[in-house]
């Protein structure tokens, strides 16, 4: 199993939207590195759902339910892909970017080095540490 962090502006598509919808196509990614990460995702992989924008916090855990397939919005057929995800559970206490920056266990979290990337891997230790700290 692999672990990932996905980012979204809550005003565009937030955690509450995923909770309400249950399952959703994660599409519209137009960055080559992020696309490659989507292609690596496997059914059952777990995702940290991060609200970018004003709040900057990890708010929930989602799961990949369908591996990479052509992005329905890729009208020019440039090879963009999507995955399907579903909400698993909300974090009891959102884990803010400030907490991440001040946590010595998370100094290598890709979010701190590639803050503009919308899809990125996290290792099991980082994932577990964030989930435990947010309980």
Nearest to 127, CA basis, from 68, 111, 116: 111
- pLDDT digit string, tens, across residues 92-129: 999 999 999 999 999 999 999 998 999 999 999 999 99
**Does domain 3-133 bear CATH number 1.10.3230.20?**
no
- pLDDT digit string, tens, across residues 7-61: 999 999 999 999 999 999 999 999 999 999 999 999 999 999 999 999 999 999 9
12 token code pair: 């565009």
CA 77 to CA 57: how far, in whole Å? 33
What's the predicted TM-score (pTM) here? 0.96
pLDDT at 108: 95
* Domain residue extents for the chain: 3-133
């Amino acid at each position: 199993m692999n672990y990932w962090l996905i980012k979204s502006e809550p005003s565009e598509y937030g955690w509450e939207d995923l909770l309400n919808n249950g399952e959703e196509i994660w599409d519209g990614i137009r960055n080559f590195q992020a696309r490659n990460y989507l292609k690596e995702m496997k059914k059952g992989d777990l995702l940290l759902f991060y609200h970018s924008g004003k709040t900057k916090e990890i708010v929930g855990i989602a799961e990949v339910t369908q591996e990479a397939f052509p992005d329905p919005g890729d009208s020019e057929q440039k090879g963009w892909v999507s995955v399907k995800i579903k909400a698993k559970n909300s974090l009891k206490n959102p884990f803010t970017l400030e907490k991440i920056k001040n946590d010595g266990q998370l100094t290598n979290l890709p979010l701190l080095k590639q803050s503009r990337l919308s899809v990125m891997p996290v290792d099991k230790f980082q994932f577990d540490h964030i989930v435990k700290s947010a309980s």
